[in-house]
Amino acid sequence: MTTEFKICNCNHSMPLDAAAGAQLGAVLGVGALSVASQLCRREIGAYLGALDGVDNVVVACTQERALFAELAQQKNTVAPIRFVNIRETAGWSAESKAALPKMAALLAAAALPDPEPVPIVNYDSAGHTLIIGPADQALPWAQRLGDQVDVSVLLTSGSDSQMLGERSFPSFSGKKIAISGWLGAFKVRWQQDNPIDLETCIRCNACIEACPESAIDLTYQIDLDKCRSHGDCIKACGSIGAIDFARGDITAGNDRSGEFDLIFDLSRTPQVRAHQLPQGYFAPGQDVARQFEDALKLTRMIGQFEKPKFFSYKEKLCAHSRNKTIGCNACIDICSAEAISHNGNHVKVDPNLCAGCGACTTVCPSGAMAYVYPRAADMGLRLKTLLITYAKAGGHNARLLFHSKGQGATLVEQVGRLAKAGGRGIPARIIPVELHHTAAVGIDVWLAAFAYGATHISVLVTDEEAPQYLEALQQQMEIAQTILSGLGYAGIHLQLIRAKTAAELDTAVNVLAFTPAQTSKICATFNVAADKRTTLEFALEHLHWHAPTKVEQIALPAGALYGAVMVNKDACTLCMSCVGACPESALTDNPNLPQLRFIEKNCVQCGLCEKTCPESAITLSPRLLFTDAAKQAVVLNEAQPYHCIRCNTPFGTLQMIDNMLVKLSAHGAFAGNLDRIKMCSECRVIDMMENKNEASITATTTITRPH
């Protein structure tokens, strides 16, 4: 595949010249690159000429992205145009003269083929909008939006300053509002607790005139604190029948419901509390600026829409539950969109609610939940390309800065711009990596990056991430750092950078630039796999092989995805409940002997065995074992088989039979016949049939009833 690279020093503001172009071209394997100084102006012809006869065009400028894209469209260019920012991320920094390896890495990564497309989630909105809130907020917005969308109003309180005019939109009132669904498919339930039904009311004002306490306002809601229940309003309403005081009784079953495409929630406290709100739900509250901003977005959400399906889920790998016992609940607990729910032994993800943060895939210990935007293999290829190209161009101590494509990308760009106004910019050794969401990448990709030669990984978080995401990232970093430190790699390898301003980020990245950490001197050649634990196996094997300290095992913090199962042999009866509960085949039995066996490599520390064990004989021990024993079945407990006293068939263990004798000696089926407990199931039935002195459960009993 032929790729044309177009680079520009942006009016000589970056240290890029012919020599630099030659070095970049040599690293990229395309020959010397021509360096423009005004590619978007007087040298635009060079760009247009590059669009012909190539498979791929990489433009090292995002400042004029719109111009370059428009020109390519006018020319009906077939080759895809990719843009990469080397100005703010590399060329505009205090270390810009040393940033050539980073520029080469960014250019090489930009030239990679586009990932395979992912499945699409569809939305269909006709614009039917429910405005929720107090009358003084909801009614003015109903008037503003009424000409653009189909409006309904749900008033949560009346108002002395607003009036309901002619019936131009459906109006309701109520409290205890419950909202479910998403764009085009919202379901709203509420309880009408005010006596006046706004849809029945004809707004004749007869009730207002009749009320002696002036308890009814012009939004036709009764202030029940003022009302003394004279009933004059009911008489005035007459046959219209809009007033019914039974509606004020919460036990009267006054539930109402409706279906809507969009929700404009003006409540002081949003009706939906999730950190990541559903598509089509807007909750600006009392913030006027946000109200206008959200209203503009709302009016544009009529029609058919689509988004990527961000995840894939493999039920067979899931360690959520077995036999109604919950094991791993990590994905449900962390989802800020409330898109994941319990579904029997597995979980269910609603793709319409999923916001694509990927946190569920980061905390999933088994790899049952996987992120696909991009897929792990595509992300791995990108990181591998960045780090190998960086090293090939002579770069050292590569540091990756993961950031979101939203506020994170904005801050990174602003830091680059600050370099021209007194700041220091992004250091030459820090390579920014844009993600759809910072929570989408976790320990498997991080350790793979270290195996590829990275010496430090930072994750930039702003105020757009849910609090639980920060906790999860910090926990993942603690586990990864424990592994790297345990292998003898010196220094701090991972850090969560919290920044809300460019100045804060500028300080953070420039402090980190002077604290290099140690990692493998040999770059790994494996590719990131689709399966999370396979990637981890490759990365850990490489890092262990080249580690400064040779260790057989590393103790890990609680919550790690590797570890052992410890069994109290005195308590364990070898009932094998844990084997039936284990979703990963880490615990197995021996069909020929009473043995409990364990394969540590398969264990995800979900805790199902611990919770299922009736004797509480199992505990978890988080650790990482590097010896071959991790892949081999080891015996955790065993016993000699107990043989049936009648037919000599092995059917249990001595400890199990002893426990049964203690627990079942008083049971009606065994009272006076304890030897049956010592028999196999078949002999037990035979013994019952042979014993003529026992009462039959089918015997007929005559009951005499008193007259």
For the ranges 232-246, 253-267, 475-489, 692-706, the maximum mean pLDDT occurs at 475-489
Distances (CA, A) of 433 to 9, 82, 105, 599, 686: 22, 16, 11, 37, 72
Task: Show Cβ contacts of residue 344 under 8 Å, excluding neighbours closer than 6 positions.
Answer: 321
pLDDT digits (tens, 9 = 90+) for 513-538: 667 899 999 999 999 999 999 999 99
pLDDT digits (tens, 9 = 90+) for 625-638: 999 999 999 999 99
Q: Where are the domains of the chain?
A: 1-83, 124-306, 309-371, 563-638, 646-690
Q: Is the pLDDT at 218 greater than 50, yes or no?
A: yes
**135 residue type, one letter:** A
Average pLDDT, the chain: 92
Cβ atoms of 456 and 450 closer than 8 Å:
no
What is the Cα Rg of the chain in Å?
34
In the chain, the percentage of residues whose pLDDT exceeds 70 is 96
At 101, the pLDDT band (50, 70, 90 cuts) reads: very high
Q: Is the pLDDT at 699 greater than 70, yes or no?
A: no
Give the pairing of strands 3-8 and 56-59: parallel
| Axis-axis angle for helices 100-110, 18-28 (nearest 10) | 50
Cβ atoms of 373 and 312 closer than 8 Å:
no
Please write down the HEC assignment for all residues of 368-433: CEEEECCEHHHHHHHHHHHHHHHHHCCCCCCEEEEEECCHHHHHHHHHHHHCCCCCCCCCCCEEEE
Q: Is the pLDDT at 166 greater than 90, yes or no?
A: no
CATH of 563-638, one of 3.40.30.10, 3.40.50.12280, 3.40.50.1980, 3.30.70.3270: 3.30.70.3270
The total of other beta-carbon atoms located within 10 Å of residue 501's CB is 12
Instruction: Pick left, alpha or beta for residue 229 (phi over 0 → left; psi -120 to 50 → alpha; otherwise beta).
Output: left
Residue-level pLDDT at 512: 66
Task: Show Cβ contacts of residue 288 under 8 Å, excluding neighbours closer than 6 positions.
Answer: none
The total of other beta-carbon atoms located within 10 Å of residue 121's CB is 19
Distance of CA 20 to the CA centre of its chain: 42
Instruction: Look up residue 487 and give its two tokens.
Output: 């292998």
Q: Is the pLDDT at 503 greater than 80, yes or no?
A: yes
Strands (E), 250-354: 255-260, 262-265, 281-282, 303-308, 311-313, 321-322, 325-326, 340-343, 346-349
pLDDT digits (tens, 9 = 90+) for 316-334: 999 999 988 999 999 999 9
Instruction: Look up residue 84 and give its two tokens.
Output: 């990469």
At 31, the pLDDT band (50, 70, 90 cuts) reads: very high
Residue-level pLDDT at 161: 82
Higher pLDDT: 573 or 142? It is 142
Give the pairing of strands 321-322 and 325-326: antiparallel
Instruction: Pick left, alpha or beta for residue 503 (phi over 0 → left; psi -120 to 50 → alpha; otherwise beta).
Output: alpha
Cβ atoms of 464 and 275 closer than 8 Å:
no
Tell me the sheet residues that pair with 325: 322
pLDDT digits (tens, 9 = 90+) for 67-98: 999 999 999 988 899 999 999 999 999 999 99
Lowest mean pLDDT among 245-254, 476-485, 535-544: 245-254
Residue-level pLDDT at 514: 67
Mean pLDDT for the stretch of residues 113-136? 95
The whole-angstrom separation of Cα 575 and Cα 586 is 16
Distance of CA 12 to the CA centre of its chain: 43
In the chain, the percentage of residues whose pLDDT exceeds 90 is 78
The whole-angstrom separation of Cα 155 and Cα 152 is 10
The whole-angstrom separation of Cα 389 and Cα 576 is 52
CB-based burial of residue 13 (10 Å sphere; 0-12 exposed, 13-18 middle, 19+ buried)? middle
Taking Cα atoms as reference points, which of 98, 104, 83 lies closest to residue 30?
Answer: 104
Give the pairing of strands 593-598 and 634-638: antiparallel
Give the pairing of strands 120-125 and 303-308: antiparallel
Q: Is the pLDDT at 698 greater than 50, yes or no?
A: no
- H or E stretch at 609: helix 608-612
Cβ atoms of 358 and 439 closer than 8 Å:
yes
Half-sphere exposure of 650 (CA within 13 A, CB side): 10
Mean pLDDT for the stretch of residues 553-571? 95
Mean pLDDT for the stretch of residues 262-274? 95
Cβ atoms of 472 and 439 closer than 8 Å:
yes
Mean pLDDT for the stretch of residues 109-115? 94
Mean pLDDT for the stretch of residues 380-394? 97
DSSP of 55-111, one letter per residue?
Answer: SEEEES-STTHHHHHHHHHHTT--S-EEE---IIIIISSTTGGG-HHHHHHHHHHHT
Higher pLDDT: 684 or 366? It is 366
Residue-level pLDDT at 106: 98
**565 residue type, one letter:** V
**Helices vs. strands in the chain: H and E counts, helices first:** 20, 32
The whole-angstrom separation of Cα 673 and Cα 680 is 14
Lowest mean pLDDT among 46-50, 226-230, 340-344, 657-661: 657-661
Mean pLDDT for the stretch of residues 289-302? 96
Percent helix, strand, coil in the chain, to 5, is 35, 20, 45
| Per-residue buried b or exposed e for 224-262, using 16+ beta carbons within 10 Å of the residue's own CB | eeebeeeebbbebbeeeebbbbebbeeeeebebeeebbb
At 707, the pLDDT band (50, 70, 90 cuts) reads: very low
Give the pairing of strands 311-313 and 3-8: unpaired
Q: Is the pLDDT at 118 greater than 90, yes or no?
A: yes
Instruction: Look up residue 619 and give its two tokens.
Output: 């505990």
Backbone angles phi, psi at 123, to 5 degrees: -130, 145
Residue-level pLDDT at 687: 85
Instruction: Pick left, alpha or beta for residue 563 (phi over 0 → left; psi -120 to 50 → alpha; otherwise beta).
Output: left
CA dihedral 520, 522, 524, 525 (to 10 degrees): 180
Q: Do the two domains 309-371 and 563-638 of this chain adopt the same fold?
A: yes
The whole-angstrom separation of Cα 457 and Cα 430 is 9
At 573, the pLDDT band (50, 70, 90 cuts) reads: confident
pLDDT digits (tens, 9 = 90+) for 450-495: 999 999 999 999 999 999 999 999 999 999 999 999 999 999 999 9
Residue-level pLDDT at 323: 87
Taking Cα atoms as reference points, which of 438, 446, 515 lies closest to residue 480?
Answer: 446
Q: What is the CATH number of domain 309-371?
A: 3.30.70.20
Residue in this structure with the two tokens 């979703």, named with its chain if needed: 583
Lowest mean pLDDT among 57-61, 107-111, 657-661, 684-688: 657-661
Is the Cα dihedral 645, 648, 653, 656 positive or negative? negative
Q: Is the pLDDT at 568 greater than 90, yes or no?
A: yes
The whole-angstrom separation of Cα 391 and Cα 104 is 10
At 704, the pLDDT band (50, 70, 90 cuts) reads: very low
Tell me the sheet residues that pair with 5: 58
The whole-angstrom separation of Cα 46 and Cα 36 is 9
Residue-level pLDDT at 668: 67
Mean pLDDT for the stretch of residues 123-144? 95
In a 3-state reduction of DSSP, which class is residue 238? helix
Residue in this structure with the two tokens 């196996």, named with its chain if needed: 537
At 701, the pLDDT band (50, 70, 90 cuts) reads: very low
- H or E stretch at 204: none
Half-sphere exposure of 59 (CA within 13 A, CB side): 27
The whole-angstrom separation of Cα 402 and Cα 583 is 33
At 689, the pLDDT band (50, 70, 90 cuts) reads: confident
pTM of the model: 0.87
Q: How far apart are the first and last CA of the chain?
A: 101
Lowest mean pLDDT among 246-255, 404-413, 488-497, 585-594: 246-255
The whole-angstrom separation of Cα 213 and Cα 223 is 10
Residue-level pLDDT at 705: 45
